[in-house]
């Protein structure tokens, strides 16, 4: 019985040892296979690092405005007798827009003119009598003063009458009437807006640092929110002081070709073009990867692995110092040299030292090297 038990134990040990030895042998073989297995090359597209002309830009948000635009207001209170315009009419300078009731002023004017006629007759008679020497000098003085007072009263009433006739101060497109015929309006009531859309400008604001780089005469590019409109203009005015609340400086640009294409109050993206700079390295934004450790790019280089007969392409992660941006390109200040090839597509599959092949059909950069 004991003999059989010993034989069973020995057999069990032999079987278990064989299984363990087999597993160890398989594990060692797998390690050897994976150690010698070479990862397939990853296809990537590259951009060639070149030094070229860099046109830095400053971006801002602007608001379109008419060169001449205002809210028209009533000058004198009264009843609206007539409205002589419709919404969106193009009006000319001096065109009558609104007539306020002026019957009382016209009656006063008729009375004042009659008094002026009498004063003129009295003055003429006083002058004749004085020339004959039959009247006192004071009589002539009183007549002259009375005539002057009568003329002043006529002028005052005529000025008051002119405030009851509301005319266009300049040519432009008038808006929706804000008053109604027969309504009583007080002085200062806005009755419409008038905008000269043939001549447009754009107002925008820059920070102190940005404003220090801008000068009158610099070109600007303008795009609408939907980017369906693109215009150009020139900076014509820079506010000589910084707003103490916002710490911004207001700028103004004239847009000569915006007639009928811009609406006063329209939201616009503004790009101010600064003087061009030479020998600047700029790359697409898609090339640069940002992380907690800094900005980096993958550079493709020829490397001859140990024991290999021919060189192969590998990537190396290189940290760079990024500068300004313009459109979809970034300025690279440090980390790269002219002639380097940097990966612009496929970076998410890469690690430093990975083998790659170049396939620029994957590139989104039109300037990628062939």
Q: Which two tokens stand for residue 236?
A: 């014509």
Closest of 299, 336, 306, 309 to residue 320, by C-alpha: 336
Residue range 281-335, pLDDT digits in tens:
888 888 888 888 888 888 888 777 665 666 778 888 889 898 887 777 888 888 8
> What residues are paired with 367 via a beta bridge?
none
Report the alpha-carbon distance of residue 199 to residue 255 in Å, rounded: 8
Q: What are phi and psi of 327, to 5 degrees?
A: 65, -125
Q: Which two tokens stand for residue 271?
A: 């790009």
* Cβ-contact 141, 85 below 8 angstroms: no
Out of 164-168, 292-296, 348-352, least confident range: 348-352
pTM: 0.64
> What residues are paired with 166 via a beta bridge?
98
Q: Does the pLDDT value for residue 369 go beyond 50?
A: no
Residue of 353 and 262 predicted with greater confidence = 262
- What is the percent of the chain with per-residue pLDDT over 90, rounded to a whole number? 35
Q: Does the pLDDT value for residue 370 go beyond 50?
A: no
Question: Confidence class of residue 38 from pLDDT cuts 50, 70 and 90?
Answer: low
Residue range 6-28, pLDDT digits in tens:
666 766 767 666 677 667 666 66
Provide the edge-to-edge strand list for the sheet that holds 190-195.
Answer: 69-73, 190-195, 172-174, 90-91
CA 258 to chain centroid, in Å, comes to 15
Inter-helix orientation angle 137-162/103-132, to 10°: 160
User: Cα angle at 330 between 329 and 331, to 5 degrees?
Assistant: 130
> What pLDDT is stored for residue 184 in this prediction?
94
């Amino acid at each position: 019985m004991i003999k059989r038990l010993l034989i069973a134990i020995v057999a069990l040990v032999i079987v278990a040892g064989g299984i363990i030895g087999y597993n160890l042998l398989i594990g060692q073989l797998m390690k050897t296979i994976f150690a010698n297995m070479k990862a397939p090359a990853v296809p990537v597209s590259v951009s060639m690092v070149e030094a070229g002309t860099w046109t830095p830009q400053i971006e801002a948000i602007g608001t379109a405005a008419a060169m001449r635009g205002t809210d028209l207001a009533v000058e004198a209170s009264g009843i609206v007798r007539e409205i002589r315009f419709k919404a969106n009419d193009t009006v000319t300078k001096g065109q009558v827009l609104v007539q306020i009731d002026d019957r009382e002023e016209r009656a006063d004017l008729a009375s004042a003119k009659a008094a002026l006629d009498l004063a003129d007759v009295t003055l003429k008679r006083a002058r004749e009598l004085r020339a004959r020497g039959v009247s006192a000098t004071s009589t002539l003085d009183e007549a002259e003063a009375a005539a002057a007072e009568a003329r002043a009263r006529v002028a005052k009433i005529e000025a008051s009458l002119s405030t009851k006739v509301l005319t266009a101060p300049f040519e432009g497109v008038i808006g929706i009437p804000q008053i109604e015929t027969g309504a009583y309006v007080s002085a200062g009531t806005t009755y419409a807006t008038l905008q000269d859309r043939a001549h447009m400008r754009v107002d925008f604001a820059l920070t102190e640092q940005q404003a220090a780089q801008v000068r009158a005469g610099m070109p600007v590019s303008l795009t609408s929110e939907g980017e369906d409109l693109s215009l150009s203009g020139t900076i014509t005015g820079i506010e000589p002081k910084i707003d103490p609340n916002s710490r911004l400086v207001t700028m103004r640009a004239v847009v000569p070709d915006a007639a009928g294409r811009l609406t006063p109050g329209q939201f616009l993206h503004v790009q101010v073009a600064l003087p061009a700079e030479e020998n600047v390295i700029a790359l697409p934004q898609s090339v640069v990867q940002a992380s907690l450790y800094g900005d980096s790019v993958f550079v493709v280089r020829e490397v001859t692995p140990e024991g290999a007969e021919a060189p192969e392409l590998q990537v190396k992660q290189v940290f760079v110092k990024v500068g300004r941006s313009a459109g979809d390109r970034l300025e690279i200040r440090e980390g790269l040299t002219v002639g380097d090839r940097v990966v612009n597509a496929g970076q998410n599959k890469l690690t430093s030292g990975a083998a790659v092949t170049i396939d620029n059909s994957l590139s989104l950069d039109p300037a990628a090297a062939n």
